[in-house]
Amino acid sequence: MVDFGFGIVPSSRINLDLFDRAKFEALATLEPDVRKCMACGSCTAVCTAGTFKATSLRAAIEEIQNGREKKALEMISGCQLCGKCFMTCPRGINTRHLILSIVKIYGEEK
């Protein structure tokens, strides 16, 4: 085989049909506000923990919706529940409560 010095890159496509949405529905039942997030990133911008560790509620919600639960839990594992994101959220989401609910539902296996 000829070595071209480059090759076909594996697809990064996400197949939303391949993961179980039951947990997300359970989260949405407990925390309907999760559907309100418009991914503006205000929560991430003001995050104190984000200064020291990759912490982003915006990214965590996106990861959950794409079926990458572990990555989502990583993105909120540094949260200190200070509540600055709650104060800044333009959609009025109770972010602190949402983070606790995510950990409660997705962190069960931990």
Partner 1 sequence: MIYEGKQKIWSEYQKEIPDDHYFYVRSCIRQSFFPASEATFLEITRNRLGKDIFETEHHTTCGGIAYHSDAIPQETAMTIIARQFGLMHKYGYENYVCSCITSFGLYCETLETWRQFPELAAKIADILWKTCKLEFAKPRFIVHASDLIYHYRNEIAAMARHRLVNVHTGEPLKVVEHIGCHYSKMFPSKGVGGAEYPYVLAGMIEAWGGQVVDYPERRHCCGFGFRQYFIKANRGYSLSNTYKKFESMEPYHPDMIITNCPGCPYFMDRWQYVIAEETGKTYGENGHGIPVFTYEEVAGLVLGYDPWDLGLQTHQIGPEPVLDKMGIKYDPSRKYLGLKGKDLGMPVCPGCIK
Question: Where do contacts with partner 1 occur on this chain (CB under 8 A)?
Answer: 1-2, 4-9, 11
Q: Which is nearer to partner 1, 8 or 22 (CB)?
A: 8
Say if residues 37 and 93 touch (Cβ distance below 8 Å). Answer: yes
Q: Which is nearer to partner 1, 13 or 110 (CB)?
A: 13
Q: Which is nearer to partner 1, 1 or 22 (CB)?
A: 1
Count Cβ atoms within 10 A of the Cβ of residue 33 and give its class: 0-12 exposed, 13-18 middle, 19 or more buried: middle
Instruction: Give the side-chain half-sphere CA count within 13 A for 85.
Output: 28
Whole-angstrom distance, CA of residue 26 vs CA of residue 101: 10
Shortest spacing between CB 20 and partner 1, in angstroms: 25
Shortest spacing between CB 12 and partner 1, in angstroms: 10
Shortest spacing between CB 4 and partner 1, in angstroms: 6
